């Protein structure tokens, strides 16, 4: 039973439970449950309506609760050099959003199973045991097949048994060729600003960094123009192997990435020469 619901109810057993704070709210709710489980009771709502409840219809869902406030904990934290209270607050907010994402995934999966009659299978790509309750409920409904994919390379991590026991099938890794074929675009439009693929996600991030640094002087020191060069076909340069397709698609292996770097160096050299020639004409 949620404390938010219990705040507006009272138990007609000669005394009423008053919830004065969030902490008391939790323990009072548990105390209410203990009394409900012992005998039939009548609950009256704040709107004046009342109804009877038998202990057989009461169930509980257990979880974990932090009673400590982030505001209190902050005073005892030792911040590393270069980090501030503002940076730490941003990290806390990020964790809160991550938790909200987990809740959204669990809720949406349950909602889809219960409302979509054409749905045949639900696949969870995770190794986070927080999804075990949702998977258990979905499997108990018996409407769809539940699959589990561990988002890691071969044998890097064992499937979480709390998840695996609620899945009809389990796959313990994702192959490299599958990841390569499932890449999203570099820019994904968002509500306020686009999501940008990090450089570290490319096959050769160190060489990619060299490529952008090589292009910056001839691209008005604008990273967006460097990316524009990478996302357009380049003409064949004498003395170099052909670069088929877009340069950005040749950053997976060291050999291909070094070839793109050579093209970038030749392009930067030609642009610098053209700018110098124009300056003296």
pTM to 2 decimals? 0.52
**How is residue 232 written in tokens?**
């357009």
Tens of pLDDT along the chain (281 residues) come to 333 333 333 333 333 333 333 333 333 344 444 444 444 444 444 444 444 444 444 444 555 544 444 443 444 445 455 555 555 555 555 555 556 788 889 999 999 999 999 999 999 999 999 999 999 999 999 999 999 999 988 777 889 999 999 999 999 999 888 887 888 889 998 888 899 999 988 989 999 999 999 999 999 999 999 999 999 999 999 899 999 999 999 998 999 999 999 999 999 999 988 877 765 44
Among 142, 133, 148, 149, CA closest to 114: 142
Where in the sequence of the chain do the CATH 3.40.50.1010 domains occur? 87-180
Q: For position 92, what pLDDT does the model report?
A: 55
Contact 141, 148 (CB under 8 A): no
Per-residue model confidence (pLDDT) at position 75:
41
> What pLDDT is stored for residue 6 in this prediction?
37
pLDDT confidence of residue 134: 95
pLDDT for 183 equals 82
pLDDT of residue 103: 87
Q: Which of 263, 251, 267 minimizes the C-alpha distance to 209?
A: 251
Cα–Cα distance, 199 to 213 (Å, whole number) = 13
pLDDT at res. 83: 54
End-to-end CA distance of the chain: 82
Which residues lie below 8 Å from residue 139, measured CB to CB, with a gap of 6+?
Answer: 146, 166, 167, 168
Structure tokens at 113: 């199973």
pLDDT at 184 (0 to 100)? 84
Q: Which pLDDT does position 5 carry in this prediction?
A: 38
CB-based contacts of 192: which residues, under 8 Å, 6+ apart? none
Instruction: Give the model's pLDDT for residue 11.
Output: 35
| CATH superfamily for domain 87-180 | 5'-nuclease (3.40.50.1010)
Q: Are 122 and 163 in contact (CB under 8 A)?
A: no
Burial of 257 (0-12, 13-18, 19+ CB in 10 A): buried
């Amino acid at each position: 039973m949620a404390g938010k619901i219990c705040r507006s109810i009272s138990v007609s057993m000669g005394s009423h439970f008053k919830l004065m704070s969030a902490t008391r709210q939790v323990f009072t709710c548990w105390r209410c449950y203990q009394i409900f489980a012992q005998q039939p009771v009548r609950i009256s709502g704040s709107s004046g309506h009342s109804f009877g409840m038998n202990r057989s219809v009461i169930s509980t869902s257990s979880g974990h609760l932090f009673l400590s406030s982030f505001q209190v904990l902050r005073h005892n934290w030792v911040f590393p050099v270069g980090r501030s209270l503002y940076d730490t607050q941003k990290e806390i907010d990020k964790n809160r959003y991550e938790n909200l994402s987990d809740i959204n995934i669990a809720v949406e999966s349950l909602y889809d199973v219960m409302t979509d009659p054409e749905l045949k299978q639900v696949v969870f790509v995770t190794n986070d045991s927080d999804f075990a309750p949702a998977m258990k409920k979905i499997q108990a409904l018996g409407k769809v097949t539940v699959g589990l994919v561990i988002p890691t390379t071969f044998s890097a991590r064992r499937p979480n048994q709390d998840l695996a026991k609620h899945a009809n099938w389990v796959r313990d890794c994702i192959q490299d060729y599958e990841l390569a074929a499932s890449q999203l675009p570099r820019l994904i439009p968002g509500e306020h600003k686009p999501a940008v693929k990090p450089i570290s996600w490319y096959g050769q991030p160190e060489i990619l960094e060299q490529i952008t640094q090589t292009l910056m002087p001839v691209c008005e020191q604008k990273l967006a123009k460097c990316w524009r060069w990478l996302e357009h076909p380049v003409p064949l340069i004498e003395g170099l192997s052909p670069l088929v397709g877009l340069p950005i698609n040749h950053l997976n292996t060291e050999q291909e990435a070094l070839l793109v770097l050579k093209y970038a160096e030749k392009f930067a050299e030609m642009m610098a020469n053209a700018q110098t020639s124009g300056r003296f004409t």
